[in-house]
Amino acid sequence: MKIGILGAGNVGGNLGRAWAGRGHQVVFGVRDTGSDKARRAVAAAGAAAGADAGATAGADVRAVSLSEAAAWGDVVVVAVPWAAVQETLAAAGDLRGKIVIDTTNAIRWDNGPVKAVEGSGAEMVAGWLPGSRVVKAFNTIGAEQMLQPDFNGVPADMFICGDDAAARATVAALAQGIGFEARDAGPLRNAALLESLGTLWIHMATVGGLGRNVAFKLLQK
């Protein structure tokens, strides 16, 4: 799959590396293709692609402009700070018809994380992108876990919501492919729940004292 990732930081870099290592074609969309962050993300994803015996796209991992990455990807991942999302999407250009994965958590800090938008950021993103298939995912766990979501043999859950069932299924396959247990969380209106869960993860990992090696898991019996 062709995946354009807007942002090459903790989340963008690690998702790109994980997917490149599973044979996906990855391109990073950044505002400065020469930045250290962009170079590091390209090098790590390129190395992961090269290490994957089935990969043919390793040499193709590159950093390009936001609009080039957005036009190139069948799936476009938003992995920039919430404050930069609207500006980034404006620079990305026409995303109609594409699956757009919103990984962001809009939070402010007041002795701990506080959700900083009414409703959800993902629904705001969908409002800015008419015709795109917006899916909320990858916001409920720390970025480093995206490289290894295995917790002593138990896969971390990845909650996924969006209004387009086929888009949710595509994102679920992308999450499963890198080791998560994908959980279909229904329509995009549930993004507020996922963003609250993301805020809770940050609380538990920081002021909650558990550290970042934690993940959410639904138990069934």
Contact mark string toward ligand NAP, 21..40, x via CB under 6 A:
---------xxx--x-x---
Tokens in use for 163? Answer: 């209004």
Cβ(178)–Cβ(146) under 8 Å?
yes
- For the CB of residue 54, give the shortest distance to ligand NAP in the complex, in Å: 27
- 20 forms part of the interface with ligand NAP (CB under 6 A): no
Distances (CA, A) of 14 to 103, 143, 145, 184, 218: 12, 7, 9, 22, 24
Out of 47, 64, 117, 143, the residue judged to bind ligand NAP by CB under 6 A: 143
Q: Is 216 helix (H, G, I), strand (E, B) or coil?
A: coil
Out of 56, 74, 81, 119, the residue judged to bind ligand NAP by CB under 6 A: 81
- 87 forms part of the interface with ligand NAP (CB under 6 A): yes
Distance of CA 11 to the CA centre of its chain: 6
- For the CB of residue 48, give the shortest distance to ligand NAP in the complex, in Å: 17
- 67 forms part of the interface with ligand NAP (CB under 6 A): no
- 104 forms part of the interface with ligand NAP (CB under 6 A): yes
Q: What is the largest CA-CA distance in the chain?
A: 51
Could you tell me how many residues of this chain bind ligand NAP (CB under 6 A)? 24
Out of 9, 16, 73, 162, the residue judged to bind ligand NAP by CB under 6 A: 9
Q: CA-CA distance, 12 to 173, in Å (whole number)?
A: 18
Cβ neighbors of 34 (< 8 A, separation 6 or more) are: none
Residues that bind ligand NAP (CB under 6 A): 7-12, 30-32, 35, 37, 79-82, 84, 87-88, 103-105, 139, 142-143
